Amino acid sequence: MTTTTFADRQVELTDDGFFADPSQWSEDLVPALAAADGIDELTDDHWTVIRFMRKEYLENGTGPNVRAHGKTSGYTEKQLYKLFPKGPAKVAARLAGISKPRGCI
């Protein structure tokens, strides 16, 4: 667990960079979080995906994996990777301030 500052706000992150407490997140943090993940320009498509992740998390307790995401968000898996080249499930989850999507075992 580490404490990091984004947009002058202190937040607790897990060791792999996800929000330890999703209630510390708000939308004004997103540009700074995006920059930290190498995304300099946030498009409307990015925002749609981030809000979708947040909503899924609040309803189901976990963000969707990329395939489920591709079937429900209106974006194909390929488009999601164009938006979040380093991995849509993880990066969009970090930007949406939610915990690491559960790897199903």
Partner 1 sequence: MPRNIVILGGGTGGTLTANRLRKHFKPSDAVISVVDKNRYHIYQPGLLFVPFGLAYADDLIRPRERQFKKGIDFYESEVDHVDIEGRKVFLDDGRALAYDALIIATGARIVPEETEGLTGDGWMEKMFTFYDAPGATALARAYNEFEGGRIVVNVADMPIKCPVAPLEFCFLTDWYFQEKGIRDKVEITYVTPLDNAFTKPRAASALAGLLDEKGVKLVTEFNTGEVDGPGGRLISYDEREVPFDLAVVIPVHSGAEFVGRSEGLGDALDFVETDKHTLQSKASPAIFAIGDAANLPASKAGSVSHFEGEILVENVIRFLADKELDASFDGHANCFIETGFSKALLIDFNYNQEPVEGHYPTKVGMPLLKESRLNHLGKLMFQWFYWHSLLPGRDIPGINPDMPTSGKHLN
- For partner 1, the binding residues (CB under 8 A) are 62, 64-69, 71-72, 77-78, 80-81, 85-87, 102-105
Closest among 95, 97, 84 to 36, alpha carbons compared: 95
Tally Cβ neighbours within 10 Å of residue 77. Answer: 13
Nearer Cβ to partner 1 (9/86): 86
Tell me the closest approach of the beta carbon of residue 88 to partner 1, in angstroms: 8
Known catalytic membership, residue 104? yes
Tell me the closest approach of the beta carbon of residue 31 to partner 1, in angstroms: 23
SS3 call for 94: helix
Q: Which of 40, 59, 78, 104 is catalytic?
A: 104
Measure CA 9 to chain center. Answer: 18
Nearer Cβ to partner 1 (1/105): 105
Q: Which residues, including other chains, have CB under 8 Å from residue 84's CB and lie 6 or more apart?
A: 39, 46, 49, 91, 92
Tell me the closest approach of the beta carbon of residue 22 to partner 1, in angstroms: 18
Nearer Cβ to partner 1 (55/102): 102
Q: Which residues sit opposite 11 in a β-bridge?
A: 4
For the annotated catalytic residues, the residue numbers are 104
